[in-house]
């Protein structure tokens, strides 16, 4: 299948496309985009939505809310993601307990969001999660790694780099993706452009 126009900052949408869309032409996927920001520019989920995926956009920026509501098909939740009752909210939006892709990019609010999340009740095939170790140090990165590892996720791409900065980890649920394909992406400390070539 032909690849869509990608929009993410560091290949996150390319990564999801390569693992979940391209192998089976998956057009009915689901996503949760926490820290969605602009609806198109640098969006990790806009290209997926254009393919027919549906999901929920979450951000606490009022300007982003207005832009997303005017541009995107998926609903927008204007809230602090660290305070959300996720089980109820996702059920209200027809998502879960299995969701294909979680994009989590909340800067300094990432750890409160991760700690508030009902990991035992939800499963994601692919997770891209920002840790910004280049500015926050090892503490937040180690904490989120401990939580995701404890819940059975495989850190496929550790310390993904963009423009020289170590900023993100990419995870998979080994029971929900083709691990033979996933292993072709396994890396530590690589620039995303070296990892995702479509």
At residue 164, the pLDDT reads: 86
Give the three-state DSSP class for 191.
strand
How does DSSP classify residue 35?
Answer: T
The β-bridge relationship of strands 54-59 and 154-162 is unpaired
Strand partners, 102: 32, 127
Helix, strand, coil percentages, rounded to 5, for the chain: 35, 25, 35
Average pLDDT, 10 consecutive residues per value, the chain (198 residues): 87 97 94 95 96 96 91 95 95 96 93 94 97 89 96 97 92 98 96 84
Tell me how far apart the alpha carbons of residues 104 and 124 are, in angstroms, rounded to a whole number: 12
At residue 127, the pLDDT reads: 98
At residue 82, the pLDDT reads: 95
- Token representation of residue 179: 């691990």
At residue 1, the pLDDT reads: 66
At residue 198, the pLDDT reads: 55
Q: Are 34 and 61 in contact (CB under 8 A)?
A: no
Could you tell me the pTM of the whole model? Answer: 0.96
Q: What are the structural domains of the chain?
A: 12-195 (3.40.50.150)
């Amino acid at each position: 299948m032909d690849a869509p126009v990608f929009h993410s900052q560091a290949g996150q949408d390319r990564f999801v496309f390569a693992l979940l869309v391209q192998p089976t032409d998956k057009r009915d996927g689901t996503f949760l985009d926490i820290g969605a920001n602009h609806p198109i520019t640098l969006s990790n989920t806009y290209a997926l939505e254009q393919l027919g995926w549906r999901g929920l956009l979450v951000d606490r920026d009022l300007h982003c809310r207005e832009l997303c509501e005017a541009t995107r098909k998926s609903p927008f939740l204007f809230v602090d993601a660290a305070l959300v009752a996720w089980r109820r909210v996702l059920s209200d939006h027809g998502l879960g307990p299995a969701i294909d892709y979680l994009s989590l990019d909340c800067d300094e609010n990432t750890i409160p969001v991760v700690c508030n999340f009902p990991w035992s009740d939800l499963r994601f095939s692919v997770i891209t999660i920002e840790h910004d170790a280049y500015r926050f140090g090892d503490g937040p990165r180690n904490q989120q790694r401990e939580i995701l590892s404890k819940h059975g996720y495989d850190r496929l791409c550790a310390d993904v780099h963009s423009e020289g900065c170590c900023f993100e980890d990419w995870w998979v649920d080994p029971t929900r993706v083709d691990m033979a394909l996933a292993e072709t992406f396994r890396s530590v400390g690589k620039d995303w452009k070296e990892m995702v070539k479509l």
